[in-house]
Chain A
């Protein structure tokens, strides 16, 4: 137990780096297949070493700090952006026993810590002293703050059903039926809001290449840029894990197939969520700036409030109340 206490986070970090390496390759392959082209296939067999080569290239690049940049904040920003991304993984229950911290307020902890990353993005954008990066940072902060509200409100229905903010309790409450069935509206809102939180297409306005060059990290090169990208993909990992825990029953088996261990079930559902993120990226066009905010405040927010209201009503109806 003690050994696991100290080595666990290190093992998780290594696993995470492995996940990020192959998630990037998988994403490029999937998008390639959807767009009817092979994707990366030159470096290593089946393109397996493509990301490793890319990361090596990034690490060997010259470390440029722009002359007019705010040096200390420019160097601090990638760290502020990355550390919360790793810290939120502490509360994710991978199986009944594989979890780092069992919090009574795990869900809130996830949401609170993940908002710190916005500070990193904003300071990085400002410290670069570049108008494109500042615009990208502003957009990113505005978007992440706006979409955080429907994200939080959409899970209130689950919290009302379970009566707990502990992710373990939430998973165990799905023994009979996964929350994706009774809380389908919440699932849709959560999926859309989480795409916006992750700054992924169709909500990748903060780094819209055609308008802003590359958004908040225009001036970043080498390993500092790699840190921003790493934070982004660690959030993909974390958000997919959270979706699995909240809506897809975490490590719980389907059809009572208990001989398959829980971690495999978790990985299976988790991969499904990750795949659907890439799938959406390859199919959807980017939203316009003015549509983005209106969508959050005028569509998602009222819908999530409606979901809370419906959950409260269904809890009182005799036949349905067993599901809520």
Chain B
């Protein structure tokens, strides 16, 4: 395998993403968990950049790293300020989750062996933001609008619920 800048970048980003995810599970402090999760989200955005999916990468940073991580950190800091998680001692859960992860791994490997990939290198230049816009507001107009309405309903619903709790 030829070692290029792209390969090095992919290596660093994937190691960061995996480390963030592993640390997220093993940290006991909730704020540390939130920050390591933000690192995972950011590294995944970097991998999208490498794949020439600029728009997706930027949206990933905006929504996941920027909005969701901050929202979670905010929530944690506002509520359980100093709490750390106790390590649970449940051997059955431990073995069950190992078995579940094993099944997932085997099925993913089998699936990816059966799948047909287009080729080693695909020209992704033609799939820019203009194309995405055309698809969203042309072919997939109605699903897109429905999804927006769903989000709007959720937003207004949460405001109403928060208001009710405030009045009591």
Binding site for B on A (CB under 8 A): 70, 72-73, 76, 103-105, 108-109, 111-113, 115-116, 118-119, 122-123, 126-127, 134, 137-138, 141-142, 145, 165
Contact A105 B61 (CB under 8 A): no
11 contacting pairs across A/B (C-beta < 8 A): A73-B31, A103-B54, A104-B54, A112-B65, A122-B70, A122-B73, A122-B74, A123-B73, A137-B77, A142-B74, A165-B129
Contact with A112, one of B61, B70, B73, B128 (Cβ below 8 angstroms):
B61
Residues on B with C-beta less than 8 A from A72 are 32
| B77 partner, pick from A112, A113, A134, beta carbons under 8 A | A134
**Residues in chain B near residue A70, CB distance under 8 A:** 29, 31
* A103 partner residues in chain B, CB cutoff 8 A: 54
Q: Which residues of A contact B44 (CB under 8 A)?
A: none
Tell me the chain B residues, 31-47 only, with Cβ under 8 Å from chain A. 31-32, 35, 38, 42
Q: Which residues of B contact A137 (CB under 8 A)?
A: 77
For A134, the chain B residues whose CB sits under 8 A away are 77
Which has the most chain A C-beta neighbours within 10 Å: B29, B58, B128? B58
The reply to whether the CB of B157 lies closer than 8 angstroms to some CB of chain A is no
**Which of A105, A112, A118, A141 is packed against the most chain B CB atoms within 10 Å?**
A112
Interface size on B, residues (CB 8 A): 23
How near does chain B come to A228, taking the closest CB pair, in angstroms? 17
Q: Are A104 and B128 in contact (CB under 8 A)?
A: yes
The CA of A115 and the CA of B64, in the complex, are separated in Å by 11
Cα distance A116–B38 in the bound complex, in angstroms: 9
Q: A119-B70, A138-B74 are in contact. Are A108 and B62 (CB under 8 A)?
A: yes
Q: Do B35 and A112 touch (CB < 8 A)?
A: no
* CB-based contact B31/A116 at 8 Å: no
- At the interface, yes or no: B136 with Cβ under 8 Å from chain A? no
B73 touches A119 (CB 8 A): yes
The chain A residue with its CB closest to the CB of B38 is: A119
Say whether B69 faces chain A, with CB atoms less than 8 Å apart: yes
Which residues, 71 to 96 on B, are CB-close (under 8 Å) to A?
73-74, 77-78
Q: Which residues of B contact A119 (CB under 8 A)?
A: 35, 38, 65, 69-70, 73
| Chain B residues near A73 (CB-CB < 8 A) | 31-32, 35
